[in-house]
């Protein structure tokens, strides 16, 4: 049985709490490893290592910091198959999907290779009589990231890459459900030339999270997870004087207009709704066809595709999707499907009871499709986080637009149409953070910022893009005047440029 500990000060350590958690193979239900759960002492050891290493790293010029990431990107490409297989073994998603997980993180690492330019400040010569004014961006010191199970490569890199490139040290607390990849990423960062102590990985549960949120030497915290925990992390971090960016749940809609290319819309819904078994915060979980004819055509085309989904373990290279991550996730998704039936939604395709020969104890749920879902139903309001798509029929465009506008969550939304005027109006009016026009999962590329609105996001700055550089640095502004030309005598009035 593998035993997974922590990675502190450039070394693997066992941890001190004595508490562990099981890591399962989602395809078989078997325990494949145990992972140490950190206590306050483990977090503190990571922070002490980070504090000791950070000043020298911050003093390293940005070009040399960038070279570490150039090498890290090279290593990620070299180890892509290894990382993807390791990720799939613990998460359950297909290997090709896992490669996408790694690549979207790698792209942020490529972005921060431009840190010499990204971290530049501003300068004004002659802001006043013999006065120059300039601003510089300096690292916050020690930062921390708390990441979810569903993207154990991508989201850690979204956090630690910009933080470390800016000159900070970093404490990563990944999900205890699939902890191997984050530790492997830390090993590769050391191989790329990162000094020991700049990236520390500490596994754990709520005890580790609370230790991070209350540690006096951690200046900033980034979080991705459910909305209730995002609220808790944001509030607790703020009470303890920390900068925080916290990203929560989602209920992403796709509006299908009558003029949409139906084949394109159906294929988009299949990938965005059932890829990774729906365990994505940017998954499309609500389809909103406009008009009864559009709805009937959509459902008629979806049903055979959902029924023919190939579901299998990560070792099946033909599988469209794998199992859910844990037995708890399996039970939760099944109970929500039950709830939808009880509420009166029409279960057109039922994924409950799916069994795969040879993997009867795995956490597999078949693709499910609800039709005639209403906005007051729990399955509409709740983030299911499984392979379940709900169809909410809208009479017209305004009614369709109203659905995501009024929903609690505001992460992502999409519209499928050939009408440029409708698409432009939609993008302008919708109160959602990320919008796709004939794009099903509108996750911005690394040089733009990722973040939702409403109860999907807490904090002023988003992930990656230029927002990430602002989040992981503080601005310092200097006003300088040298003795030449300065008049004698004190000035008692407020200085102005008058």
Residue 475 structure tokens: 């601005």
CA proximity to 56, closest of 138, 168, 165: 168
Q: List Cβ neighbours of 181 (8 Å cut-off, separation of 6 or more).
A: 83, 86, 87, 90, 152, 153
Q: Is 218 left (phi over 0), alpha (psi -120 to 50) or beta?
A: beta
Q: Alpha carbon 254 to chain centroid distance?
A: 20
Q: What is the largest CA-CA distance in the chain?
A: 91
Number of CB atoms found within 10 A of residue 84's CB: 24
CA proximity to 189, closest of 50, 85, 73: 73
3-class DSSP state of 335: helix
Beta-bridge mates of residue 412: 434
**Rounded CA gap, 338 and 340, in Å?**
5
**Rounded CA gap, 58 and 130, in Å?**
31
**Rounded CA gap, 285 and 403, in Å?**
13
Is 172 within 8 Å of 478 (Cβ atoms)? no
CA proximity to 439, closest of 422, 421, 418, 414: 414
Residue 4 structure tokens: 């997974």
Q: List Cβ neighbours of 144 (8 Å cut-off, separation of 6 or more).
A: 170, 171, 172, 173, 212, 218, 220, 221, 222
Question: Active-site residue 281, yes or no?
Answer: yes
**Rounded CA gap, 75 and 155, in Å?**
18
Is 2 within 8 Å of 33 (Cβ atoms)? yes
**What are the phi and psi torsion angles at 201 (to 5°)?**
-115, 120
DSSP string of 74-125?
A: HHHHHTHHHHHHHHHHHH---HHHHHHHHHHHHHHHHHHTTHHHHT--EEEE
**Rounded CA gap, 228 and 231, in Å?**
5
Residue 379 structure tokens: 């399955």
Is 165 within 8 Å of 112 (Cβ atoms)? yes
Residues with catalytic roles: 281
């Amino acid at each position: 049985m593998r035993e997974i500990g922590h990675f502190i000060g450039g070394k693997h350590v066992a941890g001190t709490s004595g508490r562990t958690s099981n890591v399962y193979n989602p395809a078989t239900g078997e325990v494949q490893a145990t992972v140490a759960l950190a206590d306050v002492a483990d977090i503190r050891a990571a922070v002490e290592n980070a504090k000791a290493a950070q000043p020298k790293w911050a003093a390293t010029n940005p070009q040399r910091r960038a070279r570490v990431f150039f090498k890290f990107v090279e290593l990620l490409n070299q180890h892509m198959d290894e990382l993807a297989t390791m990720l799939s073994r613990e998460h359950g998603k297909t290997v090709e999907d896992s490669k996408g997980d790694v690549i979207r993180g790698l792209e942020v690492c490529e972005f921060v290779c431009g840190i010499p330019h990204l971290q530049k400040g501003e300068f004004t010569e002659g802001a006043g009589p013999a006065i120059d004014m300039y601003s510089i961006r300096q690292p916050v010191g020690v930062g921390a990231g708390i990441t979810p199970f569903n993207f154990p490569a991508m989201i850690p890199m979204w956090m630690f890459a910009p933080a470390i490139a800016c000159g900070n040290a970093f404490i990563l607390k990944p999900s205890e459900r699939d902890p191997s990849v984050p530790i492997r990423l830390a090993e590769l960062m050391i191989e790329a030339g990162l000094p020991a102590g700049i990236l520390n990985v500490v596994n754990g549960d709520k005890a580790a999270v609370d230790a991070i949120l209350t540690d006096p030497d951690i200046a900033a915290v980034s979080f991705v997870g459910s909305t209730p925990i995002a609220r808790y992390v944001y509030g607790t971090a703020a009470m303890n004087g920390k900068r925080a960016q916290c990203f929560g749940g989602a209920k992403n809609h796709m509006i299908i207009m009558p003029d949409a290319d139906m084949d394109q819309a159906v294929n988009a819904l299949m990938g965005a709704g059932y890829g990774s078994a729906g365990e994505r915060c940017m998954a499309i979980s609500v389809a909103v066809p406009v008009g009864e004819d559009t709805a009937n055509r959509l459902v008629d085309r979806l049903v055979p595709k959902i029924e023919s989904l190939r579901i299998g373990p990560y070792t099946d290279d033909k599988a469209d999707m794998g199992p859910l991550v844990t037995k708890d996730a399996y039970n939760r998704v099944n109970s929500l499907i039950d709830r939808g039936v009880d509420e009166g939604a029409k279960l057109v395709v039922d994924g409950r009871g799916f069994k795969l020969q040879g993997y009867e104890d795995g956490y597999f749920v078949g693709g499910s499709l609800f039709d005639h879902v209403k906005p007051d139903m729990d399955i509409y309001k709740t983030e299911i986080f499984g392979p379940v798509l709900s169809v909410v029929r809208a009479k017209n465009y305004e009614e369709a637009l109203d659905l995501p506008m009024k929903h609690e969550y505001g992460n992502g939304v999409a519209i499928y149409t050939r009408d440029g005027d409708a698409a432009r109006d939609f993008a302008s009016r919708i109160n959602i953070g990320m919008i796709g026009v004939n794009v099903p999962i509108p996750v911005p590329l690394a040089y733009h910022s990722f973040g939702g609105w409403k109860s999907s996001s807490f904090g002023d700055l988003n992930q990656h893009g230029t927002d990430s550089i602002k989040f992981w640095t503080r601005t310092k502004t200097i006003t300088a005047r040298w003795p030449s030309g300065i008049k004698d005598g004190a000035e008692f009035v407020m200085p102005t440029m008058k």
